[in-house]
Amino acid sequence: MELSDVQADITEVLLTEQQIHDKIAELARRVEADYAGQRPLLVGVLKGAVMVMADVARELKMHVDIDFMAVSSYGMSTESSGVVRILKDLDADLSGRHVIIVEDIIDSGLTLAWLKANLASRGPASLEILALLRKPDAAKVDVDVKYFGFDIPNAFVVGYGLDYAERYRNLRGVAVLAPHVYA
Choosing from 11, 16, 19, 80, the residue that interacts with ligand 5GP (CB under 6 A) is 80
Q: Say whether residue 128 binds ligand 5GP (CB under 6 A).
A: no
For residue 41, the tally of other CB atoms under 10 A from its CB is: 21
Residue 47: asked if its preceding bond is cis (omega within 30°), the reply is yes
Strand order in the sheet with 98-106: 86-88, 65-71, 41-46, 98-106, 126-134, 147-151
Residue number with CB closer to ligand 5GP (6 or 110): 110
Q: Say whether residue 104 binds ligand 5GP (CB under 6 A).
A: yes
Q: Say whether residue 31 binds ligand 5GP (CB under 6 A).
A: no
Query: Is 91 a known active-site residue?
Result: no
Q: Say whether residue 105 binds ligand 5GP (CB under 6 A).
A: yes
Which of 104, 107, 142, 163 is catalytic? The answer is 107
Q: Say whether residue 6 binds ligand 5GP (CB under 6 A).
A: no
CB 96 within 8 A of CB 123: yes
In 107-173, at which residue ranges do the beta strands (DSSP E only) sit?
A: 126-134, 147-151, 157-158
Footprint of ligand 5GP (CB under 6 A)? 48, 73-74, 80, 104-112, 156-158, 162-164
Catalytic residues: 107
